[in-house]
Amino acid sequence: MSLPPCPNCQSEYVYPDQNQLVCPECAHEWNPNEVAEAAFVAKDANGTALEEGDKVTLAKDLKVKGSSLVLKIGTKAVVRRIIEGKDHELDCKVDGAGEMMVTAKFVKKA
Ligand SMILES: [Zn+2]
């Protein structure tokens, strides 16, 4: 199991101490679970946090890039992956359209 680098100084010589991680170079101590919780959260049209595996419906009609297909509001989809830092954060499997990237604020948690 590899440990994440120190968030303070990027040192790779981090070691675990009970449920904390400790950096020997800058003496920074932190809880990796808290860091994970502070990670990117994709929010739907209502501001509800989305998780991988969530069932969602489209909150508006969406044009599919590069085709004439329009996904209607209410179309069901499943969130397969959430990707940080993209315009389209959700890698979804959309009913009738297959896999595509969808912007989180254009869906609603079902
Ligand atoms: Zn450090």
How far, in Å, is the centroid of ligand 1 from the Cα of 86?
28
Q: What pTM value is reported for the model?
A: 0.63
Question: How would you class 51 by CB atoms within 10 Å of its CB: exposed for 0-12, middle for 13-18, buried for 19 or more?
Answer: exposed
More confident site: 106 or 34: 106
Show the domains of the chain with their CATH numbers: 42-109 (2.30.30.40)
What's residue 9's pLDDT?
96
Quote the CA–CA distance of 103 and 78 in Å, as a whole number. Answer: 13
Dihedral sign for Cα 97, 102, 39, 85, please: positive
How far, in Å, is the centroid of ligand 1 from the Cα of 32?
13
**Please, which pLDDT band fits residue 98 given cuts at 50, 70 and 90?**
very high
| DSSP three-state, residue 64 | coil
What's residue 95's pLDDT?
94
How far, in Å, is the centroid of ligand 1 from the Cα of 30?
10
CB under 8 Å to 59, separation ≥6 — which residues?
Answer: 44, 45, 73, 105, 106, 107, 108
Supply angle C-alpha 31, 85, 39, rounded to 5.
Answer: 15
What's residue 38's pLDDT?
58
Mean pLDDT of the region 55-83 = 93
Mean pLDDT for the chain overall: 90
Q: In this structure, are residues 73 and 58 in contact, taking their beta carbons and an 8 Å threshold?
A: yes
User: Containing H/E element for 34?
Assistant: helix 32-37
